Structure 1
Amino acid sequence: MKKGWCCTLALISMGMTSQGWAAGAFDPDGDYMFGDWGGVRSDLADQGVAFRLEHISEMAYSVDGGFRDKRTGRYSDQWTAGANFDLDRLLGIPDARFQFTLSNRNGESLNNDVLNNPNSVGVSSTQEVYGRGSVTRITQLWYGQSYMNDTFEIKAGRVPVGDDFAVYDSNFQNLYLGSGEPGNQNGGLWYNWPISQWALVGKWNITDEQYAQIGFFNLNESNLDRDHGLDLKHSGTSGTLIPVEYGFEPDEGINGLPGQYRLGYYYSSADADDYSSRDSNSDAEKSHRYGLYYVINQQVTRHDDDRDRGLSVFSMGTWNDGDTATFDRYLSAGVTYTGPFEGREQDEIGLGLAYAHVNDDYDAWSRSGNAALVGGSSAPDYVPRQGEEYNAELYYSLQATPWLAFRPNLQYVRHPGADSDVDSAWVGGLSVLATF
């Protein structure tokens, strides 16, 4: 954790002292911390190669409450390095592109270590960047092709499901106020960043504002293994995940302002435990899983005549099959305001609330072994009753330079781990984002 804090403090120092640097590296008006590499970066982009190097760190500090009721903090981070290749410019293949991205995550989880009862199900996370192990992974490795003036698009290769489905552009640090929410409740089925799998995605741009898309994602639990982070082929396929989504993205919606509306359905052909048996010793299984989701984000005001500033409202929700899902329903809503003050046009304030409910059948299934435990509720393996968890976050995003942002936040977690016997928790957080 000390190493993570040192890295973050160094970035803060760069942001505070950047005004004294000349154009180039650390230019406060440049797009990247390391500048344009003496013009090389722009030249490569003109030729069709665009590089990406980013770092995000997230710190969460338990102020009060939680299972351990302990004042302590945890640090997590992620490095992202990749490149996008315009194959039209490079090889003369019209409307084609190739994407390659590596990611590396590290750190510890405040929810796992401090807030939650270790025997309860994990629900949200106060550090959305934490998860899937401290390992380097191939997160994107795909070929994309457009046809008929971008009317039809395909993407084939290694793709995270959340790159294309249930997308919401979020700056919240809490996991349950982010993008790809069906995967946050179905992490063993719908793989979000940084996990990728072999996939084929097809998109039909019906109009400039409407689209329909479908994806076919190979389900293979070995994709989660740390030892397979850089592997492209390994055994263990269990089925196929098929998400379908309709989207409406008006440029001039309510009050003549942009919005995004997405409605989706997913189906999995992989076998799953049948929780309706309410017995963890049962071998009962279902041959499929399914669910529904929606995403709404709509700007509703503008600042004077500036459409890039103003108030937006959002809401997301999922409903998952009650026989096979750990969480059968989820709902979130909130507001964001971009450019709240004069001279701070790129800053943002956000407030969000989220609710998730543990499936009653899963709760009974997971606790079915309690009766056989010696010591009852005092036994080390006793599983508590699990119901719902509520999360709230208030953040301020300070865009210090185009390449450096600080996002202090305050989070509240009611019933951590969906356990009503655990004290509600207050958490202070800080995200730092840098683009190199």
Structure 2
Amino acid sequence: MKIKNKFFLNAPSIFALSLVAASCAAALPAAQAAAPFSYDSPWMLGDWGGTRSQLKEDGVDFQLNYTMETASNLAGGYNSSTTMRYADQLAFGIDLDLEKLLGWDNTEFQMTITDRNGRNLSDDAVSRNGMLSSVQEVYGRGQTWRLTQFWVRKHLFDNLVDIKAGRVTVGEDFDTIDSKFQNLAFGGGQAGNWRGDHWYNWPISQWGGRVAINVTPEVFFQVGFYNQTPYNYDRGDGFRFEVSQTVGNLVPAELVWHPTFGPDNLKGNYRLGGYYSSVQDEVYGSWRNGNSDTAHAYGGYLLAQQQLYAQPGGSNRGLTLTAQAVMNDHKTAKIDNYQSLTLVWKGLADARPEDEIGVGASRIHVNSSYSTMQRRENNANGAYYESNPVWIPIQHGSEYDYEVYYNIHATNWLQVRPNLQYVVAPGAESGVKNALVGGISANLSF
């Protein structure tokens, strides 16, 4: 058995131990804040006697994070029997301030290695051939080890220009928000979720980079350039970096506005962007007997996030609204449009100022040309009924995803989120029942 599988089998027990440690940490006095398992420490293993804080001050910041997500099909779906799936991710990172370490002005280096494990409830219990979204967002993109980040970032001309280059993920810079939802349809990088054959979000990296121009303290414009090769995605190729099999390039561009409003300085995050891929893609509507025309992919997106209310007792407490939309071309995209709306309230109760509750709804629509291609494939294969082994289930219309969660700030190094999800028309397939899914996710910082 491989080492990573051994870890995966023991992951639930590791998480259980962290919960016990968190409950004990709450009883530690403030003087023990830097000690292992103390409530106030940002790290479960503590500050290493002050060494970790000193290293960070000197320009060396270590990260070791663990994310787990469980999901259980409570009712409906393709497999109506109650089923549970567990998926997780380990992330090992180091951030270096090269100005402090080498004297390079305004220069930063980041390296992150990730490992994903587990299974996804969306693949076999909620839907027949996989949901359009996923009830466990940490699953996917190959359950394997990857070099996810290996880049250098530098600010030039008194911070007018911001450049990043190396092994990068598109979603860490474009279409970006923070999210604690477990369903994939409510996080950041939605442009990549519905064009994942070209726009690679975390944990897949590729050679590339982006240049940002800071127009004002609140406004900047950025454009990226990312190499596209099958090696970026294939399982087992997480450390394969040649570009000899390049099939094209992805170029996203984005205008970003970070305003604050009113006496409470209500924060906003507004992003308007688009992308173009030079890869030759199949034109679904032209499919005839295995042959089709080709075209380039393109699309656009809008992200609007605004704090609506600041609750007394802390600037980060209050209600925040997020709206997202994606439009893809009708020739080459399976998902031609997507919309979502979420509301998150942090610190609703004075006794729990760091806890938050969130609710979200999304719609994911299948391109009608893609549905037409599936029907033509069935006709070409003589598959007119589901009983035929080569019959392809037709995906058409929309899948709707809903979620409500409560994030428990157990300690500064552990957060736990029970959640409830409801999926209407899983996979946008007729004949599959709506699904009620219960889940628990958690983040642990070592």
TM surpasses 0.5 = yes
* Aligned equivalent of 1:18, options 15, 25, 29: 25
CA drift of 1:382 comes to 1.7
The 1-side partners of 2:416 and 2:317 are apart by 19
- Residues 366 and 222 (structure 1 numbering): CA distance in 2 closer, same or farther, change over 3 Å? farther
CA drift of 1:150 comes to 1.3
Secondary structure at the counterpart of residue 301 of structure 1: strand
Secondary structure at the counterpart of residue 90 of structure 1: helix
Structure 2 match to 1:378 = 387
The 1-side partners of 2:268 and 2:157 are apart by 26
CA drift of 1:82 comes to 0.6
Structure 2 match to 1:425 = 435
Task: Give the aligned length.
Answer: 433
Structure 2 match to 1:317 = 325
Structure 2 match to 1:263 = 272
Q: TM-score, normalised by structure 1?
A: 0.96
1:416 aligns with 2:423: no
CA drift of 1:179 comes to 0.6
The 2-side partners of 1:367 and 1:202 are apart by 43
Structure 1 match to 2:95 = 84
Secondary structure at the counterpart of residue 42 of structure 1: helix
The 1-side partners of 2:140 and 2:263 are apart by 37
The 1-side partners of 2:199 and 2:260 are apart by 30
- Residues 385 and 25 (structure 1 numbering): CA distance in 2 closer, same or farther, change over 3 Å? same
Structure 2: which amino acid aligns with 1:338?
A: K
Contact 2:286 2:292 in 1 (8 A): no
Q: Structure 1: which 5+ residue stretches go unaligned?
A: none
1:212 aligns with 2:221: yes
Structure 2: which amino acid aligns with 1:104?
A: D
* Aligned equivalent of 1:356, options 350, 364, 384: 364
Secondary structure at the counterpart of residue 372 of structure 2: helix
- Residues 275 and 254 (structure 1 numbering): CA distance in 2 closer, same or farther, change over 3 Å? farther
Instruction: Write the deviation string for residues 207-240 of structure 1: whole angstroms up to 9, x where unpaired.
Output: 1100100000001121111221122225321111
Alignment of 1:95-244 (within 5 A): 95-118=106-129, 122-244=131-253
Secondary structure at the counterpart of residue 207 of structure 1: coil
CA drift of 1:42 comes to 1.2
CA drift of 1:377 comes to 2.3
Structure 1 match to 2:4 = none
The 2-side partners of 1:304 and 1:91 are apart by 43
* Aligned equivalent of 2:398, options 381, 384, 388: 388
The 2-side partners of 1:324 and 1:346 are apart by 43
Structure 2: which amino acid aligns with 1:313?
A: L
The 2-side partners of 1:379 and 1:429 are apart by 35
CA drift of 1:421 comes to 1.7
Contact 2:96 2:108 in 1 (8 A): yes
Structure 2 match to 1:61 = 72
The 1-side partners of 2:383 and 2:373 are apart by 19
The 2-side partners of 1:305 and 1:340 are apart by 10
Secondary structure at the counterpart of residue 247 of structure 2: strand
The 2-side partners of 1:253 and 1:242 are apart by 36
- Residues 18 and 280 (structure 1 numbering): CA distance in 2 closer, same or farther, change over 3 Å? farther
Structure 2: which amino acid aligns with 1:39?
A: G
Instruction: Write the deviation string for residues 105-133 of structure 1: whole angstroms up to 9, x where unpaired.
Output: 00000000211112xx6410000000022
- Residues 367 and 12 (structure 1 numbering): CA distance in 2 closer, same or farther, change over 3 Å? farther
Structure 1: which amino acid aligns with 2:303?
A: V
* Aligned equivalent of 2:14, options 7, 17, 21: 7
Contact 1:278 1:362 in 2 (8 A): no
> Which range moved further: 353-362 or 222-231?
222-231
Secondary structure at the counterpart of residue 400 of structure 2: strand
CA drift of 1:17 comes to 2.1
Alignment of 1:282-321 (within 5 A): 282-286=291-295, 288-304=296-312, 306-321=314-329
* Aligned equivalent of 1:365, options 344, 348, 373: 373
The 2-side partners of 1:381 and 1:117 are apart by 14
> Which range moved further: 381-390 or 295-304?
381-390
Alignment of 1:38-77 (within 5 A): 38-77=49-88
CA drift of 1:264 comes to 0.2
CA RMSD of the aligned region, Å?
1.6
CA drift of 1:343 comes to 2.2
Instruction: Write the deviation string for residues 91-148 of structure 1: whole angstroms up to 9, x where unpaired.
Output: 0000011110001100000000211112xx6410000000022211000000111012
CA drift of 1:59 comes to 0.3
The 1-side partners of 2:440 and 2:372 are apart by 37
* Aligned equivalent of 2:408, options 385, 398, 419: 398
Structure 1: which amino acid aligns with 2:166?
A: G
> Which range moved further: 52-61 or 6-15?
6-15
1:333 aligns with 2:344: no
Structure 1: which amino acid aligns with 2:224?
A: G
Contact 2:334 2:366 in 1 (8 A): yes
Q: TM-score, normalised by structure 2?
A: 0.94
Secondary structure at the counterpart of residue 376 of structure 1: coil
CA drift of 1:367 comes to 2.8
Structure 2: which amino acid aligns with 1:427?
A: V
Sequence identity percentage: 40
CA drift of 1:401 comes to 0.5
The 2-side partners of 1:233 and 1:13 are apart by 45
Contact 1:4 1:75 in 2 (8 A): no
Structure 2: which amino acid aligns with 1:161?
A: V
Structure 1: which amino acid aligns with 2:150?
A: L
